[in-house]
Structure 1
Amino acid sequence: MGFLDDVGSAIKGAIDKIETAAIPAMISEALAKTDFGDLQGLIDKLRLGGLKEQVNSWLSNGRNLPVTAQQIHDALGNEQVKQLADKFGVPLDAVSKFLADHLPTVVDQASPEGKIESNA
């Protein structure tokens, strides 16, 4: 049974990696259909919404500061969060949580030189 457990764990790990790799593209695709337009547009709105310190940490080479779903919601505002939720096809609270969980890493990976690459 140990071998099958190991195989099952390996398969689950591979699936998780594939799903994680798809997140940046999924976010970019959804943003393209909103007023944000792209990742840079979302970052600009988050900075204006009071998350400048967090966003700057994601762009830098240092540690990424965490952000909560509530902070994302507050920074973007209800209408913008609703627009994103509609594009993702999920409830308001789910999109804020998803962005809080994944945006620090997505922005970090899309900005190797401290700026968002144009294809992100």
Structure 2
Amino acid sequence: MGILINLIQSIISKLFAGNTTKFISVVTAMLQNKEGGLAAILEQFQKQGMGHLTSSWVGTGENADVSEEQLQQGLGQDKIQELIKSTGLSEQDLLAKLKEHLPKIIDKLTPEGKLPE
């Protein structure tokens, strides 16, 4: 698990040009969460009928854009509220950051089109 944590932190830090904000820590924690992390997030989106989005993020082609509404639906309001509390960001700011960065982060974590072990 330590290798995956280091990989996640490295990718997120590169995407944020080394800026180690609270957001980075929270996203890292979310992706390595005990309840399944990255795999669970992808599964939640799939259950909400948005598997086409996550498939593009994991796949080797272009990443599909995600809307703030789709993020709310895919992550669920409880997770959104937890992230707001953890980051100190407003809901609008959190969703904007997730919209911009979550597809890129997942794409970088799955460079060969499959989940890391």
Q: Give the structure-2-normalised TM-score.
A: 0.69
Cα deviation 1:60-91 (Å, max 9, x = unaligned):
11111111112101222322211222222222
Seen in structure 2, the aligned counterparts of structure 1 residues 91 and 23 have a Cα distance that, compared at 3 Å, is closer
Q: Which has the higher helix share?
A: 1
Q: In the aligned structure 2, how far is the partner of 1:91 from the partner of 1:36?
A: 25
Query: 2:19 and 2:107 mapped to 1: Cα distance?
Result: 18
Q: Aligned with 2:27: secondary structure?
A: helix
Residues 46 and 75, structure 1, Cα contact 8 Å, conserved in 2: yes
Aligned residues: 101
C-alpha distance in structure 1 between counterparts of 2:67 and 2:78, whole Å: 18
| Whole-Å separation in 1 of the counterparts to 2:115 and 2:80 | 22
Q: CA deviation digits over 1:79-112, x for unaligned, max 9?
A: 2211222222222222222111101110000002
Q: Secondary structure at the match of 2:19?
A: helix
CA distance in 2, matches of 1:45, 1:17: 29
Aligned partner of 1:77 in structure 2 is 76
Give aligned-pair identity as a percent.
24
Partner of 1:18: 18
The normalised TM-score by structure 1 is 0.68
Q: Which runs of 4+ in 1 moved over 3 A?
A: 22-26, 30-33
Unaligned runs of 5+ in 2: 1-15
**SS of equivalent to 1:109:** helix
Aligned-pair RMSD on alpha carbons? 2.7
Which sections of structure 1, spanning at least 5 residues, go unmatched? 1-15
Structure with max Cα Rg: 1
Q: Distance between the aligned counterparts of 2:35 and 2:94, measured in 1?
A: 15
Contact 1:36-1:42 within 8 A present in 2 as well: no
The verdict on how the C-alpha distance between 1:52 and 1:94 changes in structure 2, with shifts beyond 3 A counting, is same
1:1-36 deviation digits (Å, cap 9, x = unpaired): xxxxxxxxxxxxxxx62238x976651224556x75
Distance in structure 1 (CA, Å) of the matches to 2:24 and 2:116: 12
Aligned to 2:29: 29
